[in-house]
């Protein structure tokens, strides 16, 4: 299978390229320096030249707080570019796997969100990603919309890297690291999600999916786990979201139930703690 991967230099895109390549697919990696996916004609040209069997659309503007300050850019990258990627896939008869987010939900419901639950984004980022989902579905029936959450991996921009950096900075006996304890979700290793994508992509089980590791935790408890597994010494204190205000509101409950993967026997994601320990054992380049 020939697969065009967008956002190929990003946290998830790099793992998707690696995983699909290892599985024998011919991978065509593209990122912003190859084409701006917000531009329709160049995006269509990319597909007609590459002639992929599938497009995995990982490109996005993922800076949640910056999106809040620039909604036009957020909708251009997270919605219009997703539409263009789907249009390009349709033009060459390819399927598309579009990556989306837990932030399309309000997080006000108490239980784990299923694919059938109503969306209700709180932030510009969430609204722009939700619009992207809809535009992809409208372009082609041959789509997978895969919602994930709390991604981490070999990137200086993810939560474990931030915690490690701060813990080293504060050090033992220094001021405590305060981390919010009233947002629940599931840390998901980008490599594990790439494995899930590689499992789903060759199928024709089109539709909308939730794809996170199993189980859930809070940012505070995850931070404690990170510090313990990396052998760091830094005090961690729980705090509330209200005590740690950010420009964009976050859902309090981000827990997703992988219902549609599970009932079709397609769920390959393990409990988050096991994936985390595997990542720690394998990690190569956290700063
Ligand atoms: N990270 C998370 O915690 C998380 C959670 C839930 C869902 N997701 C979703 O997972 C997917 C992958 O996220 P990620 O964390 O891997 O993102 P990422 O590391 O920010 O990578 C996104 C990539 O897309 C590229 N890009 C941005 N605008 C583009 C454009 N107009 N044309 C072409 N490429 C463009 C970026 O290039 P530049 O770096 O040069 O801008 C970057 O290489 C996204 O759909 C995101 O919404 C992420």
- Ligand 1 centroid, distance to 183 Cα (angstroms): 22
Check if the beta carbon of residue 184 is closer than 8 Å to that of residue 252.
yes
Predicted pLDDT at 245: 87
**Nearest atom (ligand 1) to Cα of 157:** 19
Predicted pLDDT at 244: 87
- Ligand 1 centroid, distance to 235 Cα (angstroms): 32
Please indicate whether residue 179, judged by its CB atom, sits closer than 6 Å to ligand 1.
no
Residues of the chain whose pLDDT is less than 70?
284-287
Ligand 1 binding pocket mutation candidate from 4, 5, 32, 37 (most atoms within 8 A of CB): 32
Measured in degrees and rounded to the nearest 5, phi and psi for residue 28 equal: -110, 100
Q: Nearest residue CA, atom 12 of ligand 1? A: 58
Predicted pLDDT at 228: 95
SS (H, E, C) the chain: CEEEEECCCCHHHHHHHHHHHHCCCEEEEECCCCCCCCCHHHHHHHHHHHCCCEEEECCCCCCHHHHHHCHHHHHHHHHHHHHHHHHHHHHCCCEEEEEEEHHHCCCCCCCCECCCCCCCCCCHHHHHHHHHHHHHHHHCCCEEEEEECCEECCCCCCHHHHHHHHHHHHCCCCCCEEEECCCEECCEEHHHHHHHHHHHCCCCCCEEEECCCECCEEHHHHHHHHHHHCCCCCCEEEECCCCCCCCCCCCCECCECCHHHHHCCCCCCCEHHHHHHHHHHHCCCCC
Please name the residues in contact with 268: beta carbons below 8 A apart, sequence gap of 6 or more.
Answer: 192, 195, 196, 199
- Ligand 1 centroid, distance to 78 Cα (angstroms): 9
Please indicate whether residue 46, judged by its CB atom, sits closer than 6 Å to ligand 1.
no
Predicted pLDDT at 59: 98
Asked if 125 is an active-site residue, the reply is yes
**Rounded CA separation 81/145 (Å):** 15
Structure token digits, residue 232? 């760091």
Tell me the domain boundaries of the chain: 2-153+188-214+255-270
Q: Which of 103, 113, 125, 152 is catalytic?
A: 125
Please name the residues in contact with 179: beta carbons below 8 A apart, sequence gap of 6 or more.
Answer: 163, 219, 220, 223, 236, 237, 238, 239
Please indicate whether residue 193, judged by its CB atom, sits closer than 6 Å to ligand 1.
no
Please indicate whether residue 37, judged by its CB atom, sits closer than 6 Å to ligand 1.
yes
> What pTM does this model have?
0.97
Strand order in the sheet with 143-148: 26-30, 2-6, 54-57, 95-101, 143-148, 207-210
CATH tag for 2-153+188-214+255-270 (out of 3.40.1360.10, 3.20.20.370, 3.40.718.10, 3.40.50.720): 3.40.50.720
Please indicate whether residue 66, judged by its CB atom, sits closer than 6 Å to ligand 1.
no
Please indicate whether residue 82, judged by its CB atom, sits closer than 6 Å to ligand 1.
no
- Ligand 1 centroid, distance to 107 Cα (angstroms): 22
């Amino acid at each position: 299978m020939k697969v065009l991967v967008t956002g190929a230099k990003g946290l998830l895109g790099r793992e998707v390229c690696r995983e699909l390549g290892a599985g024998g697919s011919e991978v065509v990696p593209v990122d912003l320096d190859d084409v701006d996916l917000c531009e329709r004609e160049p995006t269509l040209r990319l597909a007609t030249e590459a002639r992929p069997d599938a497009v995995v659309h990982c490109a996005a503007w993922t800076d949640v707080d910056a999106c809040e300050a620039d909604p036009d850019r957020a909708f251009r990258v997270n919605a219009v570019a997703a539409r263009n990627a789907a249009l390009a896939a349709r033009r060459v008869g390819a399927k598309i796997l579009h990556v989306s987010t837990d932030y399309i939900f309000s997080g006000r419901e108490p239980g784990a969100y299923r694919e059938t639950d109503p969306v209700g984004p709180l932030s510009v980022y969430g609204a722009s990603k939700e619009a992207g989902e809809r535009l992809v579905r409208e372009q082609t029936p041959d789509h997978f919309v895969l919602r994930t959450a709390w991604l981490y991996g070999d990137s200086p921009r993810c939560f474990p890297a931030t915690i490690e950096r701060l813990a080293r900075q504060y050090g033992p006996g220094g001021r405590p690291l305060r981390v919010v304890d009233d947002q629940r979700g599931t840390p998901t290793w980008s490599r594990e999600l790439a494995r899930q994508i590689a499992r789903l992509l060759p199928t024709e089980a089109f539709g909308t999916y939730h794809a996170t590791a199993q189980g859930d935790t809070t940012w505070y408890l995850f931070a404690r786990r990170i510090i313990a597994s990396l052998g760091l010494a830094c005090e961690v204190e729980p705090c509330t979201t209200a005590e740690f205000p950010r420009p964009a509101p976050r859902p309090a409950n981000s827990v997703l139930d992988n219902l549609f993967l599970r009932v079709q026997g397609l769920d390959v994601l393990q409990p988050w703690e096991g994936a985390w320990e595997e990542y720690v054992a394998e990690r190569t380049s956290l700063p």
